[in-house]
A and B are shown apart, each in its own frame.
Chain A
Amino acid sequence: MERRELEQQILHVVHQVLHREVEPQTRLLDSGQLVDSLNIVKLVCEIEERFCVSFDDDLELDYLDDVKSLVEAVWSKLNE
């Protein structure tokens, strides 16, 4: 899969789970900003299932900074 295609697919998943318009720069999880934690959990589970990757051992959650970081993390895992 091309990276651009992966980005489009992830944008689609994020839109479906969070029910809002998103672009690569959309912030997902910020210090000091409350998010619906259940929706973010759903999003991670959906991404893991859809792309057969696992974020189980990642406590930093940098991949949830914004959509671009999420794409980067999934891309890295797919190419490990």
Chain B
Amino acid sequence: MIKCIVWDLDQTLWRGTLGEDEQVLLPEENRALLEHLDASGILQSIASRNDPDAAMEQLRKLGIDHYFLYPQLGFHSKALSIQTIAQKLNIGLDTIAFLDDNEFELREIGYFLPQVARYHAWSDRNSLMEAVGQGGTGTAESRNRRVFMQAQEKRDQEELKFSGTREEFLKDCDMRLTIREAREDDLARVCELVERSSQYKTFSQTVDPDFCRRYRASTQSKLWVAELEDRFGQYGIIGVCFLRSGDGNVWIDQFCISCRVGGRGIGVVFLQTVLDQCQGMGNPCFKAVCCFTPTKRNRPVVILLRTLGFRKSQSQDGQGGLEVALPVAHVACDWITIIVDKG
């Protein structure tokens, strides 16, 4: 799945070479593509060998500077630029597509970063469109993804400048986490989040809206979502948890949070809150069992589960699983205000 397009500038985003040609022109098809990708929730950035000030000034003149997150402008290697973008956006290199007019640059990226999809700026346009799909999922989170990321960028900059401890900064962010059962109009986002998550996802299987509806309809199971806002803005639904109870156990069929909000204790708070809520689902529960698929990227969620006391399950043969006795040990995260919305 492509999550971010990284543009070259000269002869790719615009026609002409900045600093050499009298002027550069933005082709109408590129302006339309920028808008289309943005509305589809595909992030965009830049890796270009150009003078940073002149390039930013030109982007502003063309009225398109707001589309780009963490643009990498300078005379260093484009492979390094793309690695930096992946790191800043906290996404895998295999979710990035690089667009350039220069065969040498494309081959260089292919050599150093073979996971990155590469497209020639003009001759591969149809393949690029096929790869990114015809449109996003239509969720508010998808349409506003770039705005969410810009709020994140501002937050990161303020954290760098903040003189106190990390905990003090987290308190200063004024994070409010609303935890509630999913509604019908959340289901597209639930499916999207399960599909897109990689680092903080317990089970690899994706879900569709019908599965979610059946899950919600059952008296044995509940589908929980978590919405986050802080003083930098709203992040929409950033967490999903499928919980099923029976035989004294709570089964975590799926748990995931957006990679954007990792490292702030949000996943820990979300999971411990919904496990607490389970005790009120009817039958008493003594153990939580998490269905788990280890992947190359989901080590962060193992660490999150371990923080709550989960250990490797003895009962599951072949398939990985982690379990913990209930109630789970409470982890102090006094920088997050938890609101359980019982509808």
Contact = CB atoms under 8 A, between A and B. Distances in A.
A6 B271 CA distance: 37
B307 A37 contact: yes
A35 B307 contact: yes
Contacts of A29: 303, 306-307
A31 B327 CA distance: 13
Interface in B286-300: 292, 294, 296, 299-300
Interface string A29-63: 11111111111110010000000000011011100
B330 interface: yes
Given A33-B331, A34-B307, A59-B292, A44 B299 contact: yes
A61 B302 CA distance: 8
Contacts of B166: 36
Interface stretch (B61-69, B120-128, B205-213, B261-269): B261-269
Contact of A32 (B263, B312, B320, B330): B330
B322 interface: yes
B132 interface: no
Nearest to B296: A56
B294 A38 contact: no
A38 B307 CA distance: 13
A33 B306 CA distance: 10
Nearest to A61: B306
B309 A32 contact: yes
Nearest to A36: B263
Nearest to B166: A36
Nearest to B262: A38
Contacts of B32: none
B176 interface: no
B299 A41 contact: yes
A41 B309 CA distance: 17
B302 A59 contact: yes
Contacts of B143: none
Contacts of B296: 56
Nearest to A32: B329
B206 to A, nearest CB: 22
Interface in B321-336: 322, 329-333
Contacts of B300: 37-38, 41
A31 B268 CA distance: 11
B2 interface: no
A31 B22 CA distance: 63
Given A34-B333, A59-B294, A59-B322, A41 B311 contact: no
Contacts of B332: 34
Contacts of A60: 311-312
Which of B300, B306, B330, B332 lies at the interface centre, i.e. has the most chain A CB atoms within 10 A of its CB? Answer: B306
A38 B304 CA distance: 10
B202 to A, nearest CB: 11
Contacts of B18: none
Contact of A59 (B199, B307, B312): B312
B77 to A, nearest CB: 20
A29 B294 CA distance: 19
Nearest to B301: A37
A36 B292 CA distance: 21
A14 to B, nearest CB: 15
Which of B265, B300, B307 lies at the interface centre, i.e. has the most chain A CB atoms within 10 A of its CB? Answer: B307
A31 B312 contact: no
Contacts of B322: 59
B307 A56 contact: no
A32 B294 contact: no
7 contacts: A29-B306, A31-B306, A31-B308, A32-B307, A37-B307, A59-B302, A64-B303
Given A56-B294, A60-B312, 11 more contacts: A30-B307, A31-B329, A34-B331, A34-B332, A34-B333, A37-B303, A38-B300, A40-B303, A44-B299, A59-B294, A59-B312
